[in-house]
Structure 1
């Protein structure tokens, strides 16, 4: 969809089937290019639904990475992330695999002062 992210984000789909009698689709083996968030292309699953939601509130298209061990140092000053990555609408987020939790580690002078673990974390420009 257009108008959602500040920089270019796009996906390349492998072979997939579109059911024309449904309002959604899911494609496996998708490559996401989102260099604003991560330097390398991401492999994962893409889901899309037809909806009348405005672009700001859209939750689709939704991409979820296969990998769940990405490390993003200083995603915010002194905040480090480990887990899976995804995009839902215009939101970039960190996610967890079925049996694991994603983690945000807060540091001060190189010492860890707080670690938060959860199923997902939304990353925004401001807190």
Structure 2
């Protein structure tokens, strides 16, 4: 698990290789990632947007940007958390992802970026 804290917002990510949806002969490797966002600040915040960078070890880089996460723009009171699972695919056995969320403090509309820590996507047999 990797973790980063930005302005009191803690983001933790854990990944999993999904072998039954992957096909090495077609260079198709599927991963899921579970993200936990914890509001450790004293303010209510809302997640407005996400911006991801997906790096494949074959040299391909993709960028994904959009509103919210999995169709939601969660609002988190101090001490609350939001967790979701999403996925990505690579054309090689290794890669990584990183990015940021755009958050908004509810009481005054202040917007700020929260780091999504870089995490690795590695097919388990590559670790041997």
How high is the TM-score relative to the length of structure 1? 0.31
**Which structure has greater strand proportion?**
2
Structure with higher RCO (Cα < 8 A, 6+ apart): 2
**Which structure has greater helix proportion?**
2
